Structure 1
């Protein structure tokens, strides 16, 4: 008999759809999207009621009233083998999570929390302290915690006192992939690539500083993305006379392959701006296309994905970024070795089968306890 699962999630991010599709094949899945506006507000994407990629999946999109997902409680009151959810990004989502938790406890059904938090520096405010107490209680009494990486597991274990055996690493996976071609990196200009939103937390101004101090010939920095910091970054380039910098603006996902295939190095210079970067799927995408990686310690995926295929540097450290870029770009043998290693890591450890296997293990464990 299939496991009956209520899976609540805020929105239908494109990289999650294959995962939802796959787990629906072997489970009696009721998938509920509670805050679909997140994808529109964050990525300027609109999602229709008929979501391409979720054909055959039993899903529903809840309307929001004053920030609350209408109908969530009535769905939660039905009988399930396992309920999965958990969010505290907004006060409304926190309240919803508390209600889900209470309902599952009343029904004596397992509750699994899926989160991407890790121990970035937070403001020591009264609000933050109260939130932390609530989160600790929820996590301590949940039946299991799903997290994407080792940094996240360490946070839930050490900072939130969740027993290690209750924490399951379910690696994040991206579905942006296609014809990876290592030969397309062979050109006279060494191309450094940044892909992402242009907001303060992404630290692109530090990347520009670092790039400006590189003493290499025939290099180019390509910045793919858009956002509120775009004009400030362009002014920085102009003011400091930084040469060979290209701003492409926003590029559709199906067009990114060209940039990833032709780049020689991908840099993720994130900083802590109220929060670190929970994961950064650009790492998954860049590594699939044979790219060496430089990431800061504010990138949640870095400890698990940046090994012998790149370098991790401290946030806001432009000289360290310069050194790392120079080390990789000036050494063809090292760069090629890192390129192959990136592809090896992504193919072995960060596929949807890895994600689904971890999910199934967690569900099986809480059902048997």
Structure 2
């Protein structure tokens, strides 16, 4: 069974892990009484605008894929970001500029350092590329250079996952004292336990992109292993690689697919009907969906970082790329209300 969602892009930014953090961060800054100037690519063709203490600046972006688009989106765009920041700086006092790590548009800001820079560590390209069969081409090498250069030049890097920070610090050769552990980067007002409806089946939920990097193929194999169990799987998120389009042709009776992206404020609605959350990501470790599910009071099954043992209190951890281990963990939680309660309570404490 497939449902379709048609959400508007918030501020013209497509949903994803980086945007999830961005939304939470902006809300936090606004609640603390700060003015926020948000610089984003223009993906909708609508002009920027102001609402209260939040102002949206939009810069030109080419949607289609081509060499010209790449040159504009990942090099020239960076320079326009720099010019826009300098324009804002001339008009008012700016405390710092916060920038993303993945394909970062902050190269020129890092080069000239007109203001203090704060980088949010989410998913650097060198980690994502570890799970691709082909070697990095010239375009990927440009991303790797930009991210490493910017990461070494920023004033502070905040990170929610310790193991990912250790790997990034080593790969980028980041100087000591530049990292800060962001312990609770989740909007706990939005993601908090709620009364659950009475239902006959036990529901296991996955929220995220249906892509190889996120381990969707491993999850689907685990679902096949558990097809005779009384477990309904609810999969929520976009399908850019067409994995779910092909899989749903089988008409599986134990899968409900909600084709996203889904408006962020609606995600708790899906968590509310779930009993278990699963995060089979190949990079493993700390994912925002892990933290959101924990904050919501769900027991979570997630993966170790490859070759590492980043222990997260309150989650059931399994090796990456192991559908049998994933299926066994889901089954154990499904068959024990005591175990589900234990992991749920520990997750909330974390």
Matching residue within 303, 306, 318 for 1:313:
318
Q: Distance in 1 between matches of 2:161 and 2:81?
A: 32
Q: Which runs of 5+ in 2 are unaligned?
A: 1-10, 62-71
Partner of 1:16, secondary structure, is helix
Q: Alpha-carbon deviation of 1:320?
A: 1.0
TM-score of the two chains, using structure 2 as the length reference:
0.71
Which residue is 1:193 aligned to? Answer: 205
Q: Alpha-carbon deviation of 1:291?
A: 1.0
Partner of 2:122, secondary structure, is coil
Q: Distance in 2 between matches of 1:262 and 1:193?
A: 9
Q: Distance in 2 between matches of 1:286 and 1:258?
A: 12
2:120 aligned with 1:114: yes
Which residue is 2:55 aligned to? Answer: 59
| Contact preservation (8 Å) 1:145, 1:166 | yes
Partner of 2:127, secondary structure, is coil
Matching residue within 161, 167, 177 for 1:149:
161
Q: Alpha-carbon deviation of 1:293?
A: 0.7
Count of equivalent residues: 307
Matching residue within 93, 103, 107 for 1:98:
107
Partner of 2:222, secondary structure, is helix
| Contact preservation (8 Å) 2:39, 2:59 | no
Matching residue within 251, 264, 268 for 1:257:
268
Q: Distance in 1 between matches of 2:148 and 2:108?
A: 16
Matching residue within 5, 23, 28 for 1:22:
28
Distance 1:224 1:28, change over 3 A: closer
Which residue is 2:65 aligned to? Answer: none
Q: Distance in 2 between matches of 1:200 and 1:64?
A: 30
Partner of 1:122, secondary structure, is helix
- Mapping 1:1-369, distance limit 5 Å: 11=13, 13=19, 16-24=22-30, 29=35, 31-37=37-43, 49-50=48-49, 55-64=51-60, 66-67=72-73, 68=77, 70=80, 72-76=82-86, 78=89, 82-87=95-100, 89-90=102-103, 93-94=104-105, 97-104=106-113, 107=114, 109-117=115-123, 120=127, 122=129, 124-125=135-136, 127=138, 128=140, 131-171=143-183, 172-174=185-187, 177=190, 180-181=193-194, 184=197, 187-214=199-226, 217-227=229-239, 228-235=242-249, 237-238=250-251, 242-250=252-260, 251-271=262-282, 276=283, 280-297=287-304, 303=310, 306-307=312-313, 309-345=314-350
Q: Alpha-carbon deviation of 1:132?
A: 4.0
Q: Distance in 2 between matches of 1:182 and 1:216?
A: 28
Q: Distance in 1 between matches of 2:84 and 2:236?
A: 43
Q: Distance in 2 between matches of 1:342 and 1:84?
A: 32
Q: Which runs of 5+ in 1 are unaligned?
A: 1-8, 41-45, 346-369
Q: Alpha-carbon deviation of 1:328?
A: 1.4
| Contact preservation (8 Å) 1:293, 1:311 | yes
Q: Alpha-carbon deviation of 1:325?
A: 1.1
Summarize deviations over 1:184-226 as a string: whole Å, max 9, x none: 4x64322111222333333333222212223864222222234
Q: Distance in 2 between matches of 1:278 and 1:113?
A: 19
Q: Distance in 2 between matches of 1:222 and 1:283?
A: 16
| Contact preservation (8 Å) 2:284, 2:303 | no
Q: Distance in 2 between matches of 1:293 and 1:219?
A: 15
| Contact preservation (8 Å) 2:284, 2:304 | no
Which 4+ stretches in 1 moved above 6 angstroms? none
TM-score of the two chains, using structure 1 as the length reference:
0.68
Distance 1:265 1:48, change over 3 A: farther
Q: Distance in 1 between matches of 2:13 and 2:285?
A: 16
